[in-house]
Amino acid sequence: MESERESFDLSGPLHLTHVSWDTAYHRMAVAASLVQGVYILERDRQEKREGSNALAPPWWTFFQFQLLRPLVDDVDSSIFGAIYEFRPSSSQCNDTIYTSPRYVIAFRGTLTKSHSVSRDIELDIHLIKQGLHRTSRSEIAIQAVRNMVATVGDSNVWLAGHSLGSAMAMLTGKTMAKNGMFIESFLFNPPFVSAPIERIKDERVKHGIRFAGSVITAGLTIAMQAKKPKDLSVDPFVALAAWVPGLFVNPSDHICSEYIGYFEHRRKMDEIGAGMIERLATQNSLGGLLMGAFGKESEALHLIPSASLTVNITPSRDFKEAHGIHQWWKADLQVENKLYNYK
């Protein structure tokens, strides 16, 4: 069963025989497939599958990409990312050159296999503790993206990731955006480090909990800011507003579903005239504020100003399916999309 999910011929989007880069579903499906390619690259390494036995290459060659190089973790030598180059046939060049990416840098999520699981879980813990930015894997990822952007420009690069890899892509994208470089990003099932409030069915209870959380967070933010000297430079959260990453979430996946409430709560707070409270709360987390109070640096990756939020409304059989990468290229996928721009 596992080998079937790794095989492009058995589990890949074979129906996508022609890619229209102006079509949101096509861009999403290709980006998700390239992320899957990273998963299978690492599985090929673990299983020593080489040459004709390797299962990874079809995940990118089907869409006329080539693997430039894998990104390798310096701790356990696992492959956690890949840099792809788009090389369309000459007959397609005129149709795709202006809307397709030239390069895609993709990151996989946690693999529950003995060869890589301990390092991946270690990074998951760093993510929960808002310290992913302090890891060597993130340094490798950011440097790879910086080098590529310096060579070809930010408009020619896409970022993509799933789960932990989505957090890595989020960190990398935010880092580049803070320096005025806005990379098109496809973040599948991005982790939202928070209590799963979105799972509460009663909308009034849910809104009440979020409202109370916003008031507490805003209050702590004001208290913390009062102790610091005033910085007249541009607010880094506002500086990020021009970056609009694509977030792909499933409401049945508690790891990422809170993004739905995060953005909708901000909209509701504006409607009831409490936008100022939410503007303070939306860029800070309680965990981060508490860590800051004890002098510990943190980076709450899940807090972003703007996003194009795509929600998979197709029913999921279980959590594994709701969190999986395979859902994002299904032919019968039903989604809802909303654009949230920070004001």
DSSP line for 182-217: --EEEEES----S--GGG---HHHHHHHHHHHHHHH
- Measured CA to CA, the distance from residue 219 to residue 11 in angstroms comes to 49
Distances from the Cα of 77 to the Cα of 74, 140, 336, angstroms: 6, 12, 39
**What is the C-alpha to C-alpha distance for residues 200 and 197, in angstroms, rounded to an integer?**
6
Does 328 fall in a domain?
yes
Instruction: Tell me, yes or no, whether 285 lies in a domain.
Output: no
Number of domains the chain contains: 1
Task: Give all strands (DSSP E) within the chain, no chain letters.
Answer: 65-72, 79-86, 103-107, 157-162, 184-188, 246-249, 307-312, 335-340
Tell me which DSSP letter residue 317 carries: S
Measured between alpha carbons, how far is 30 from 19 in angstroms, rounded to an integer?
A: 8
Domain CATH number, residue 44? 3.40.50
pLDDT value, residue 136: 97
Dist. CA 151–CA 338, nearest whole Å? 33
Indicate whether 286 belongs to any domain.
no
Q: How far apart are the first and last CA of the chain?
A: 47
| Sign of the Cα pseudo-torsion (285, 286, 287, 293, in order) | positive
215 within domain boundaries:
no
296: in domain: no
pLDDT reported for residue 206? 59
**Comparing C-alpha atoms, which of 201, 214, 209 is closest to residue 269?**
214
114 is written with which tokens? 């003995």
pLDDT at position 294: 45
- Counting as low any pLDDT under 70, the low residues of the chain are 1-2, 90-98, 194-236, 267-300
Phi–psi pair at 85, nearest 5 degrees = -120, 135
Residue 195 is predicted with a pLDDT of 60
- Structural domain span for residue 323: 2-193+237-271+302-340
Q: In this structure, what are the phi and psi dihedrals at residue 206, rounded to the nearest 5 degrees? A: -60, -45
Residue 232, in any domain of the structure: no
Q: Is residue 201 part of a domain?
A: no
Coil, strand or helix: which one is 221? helix
Asked, for residue 229, whether it belongs to a domain, the answer is no
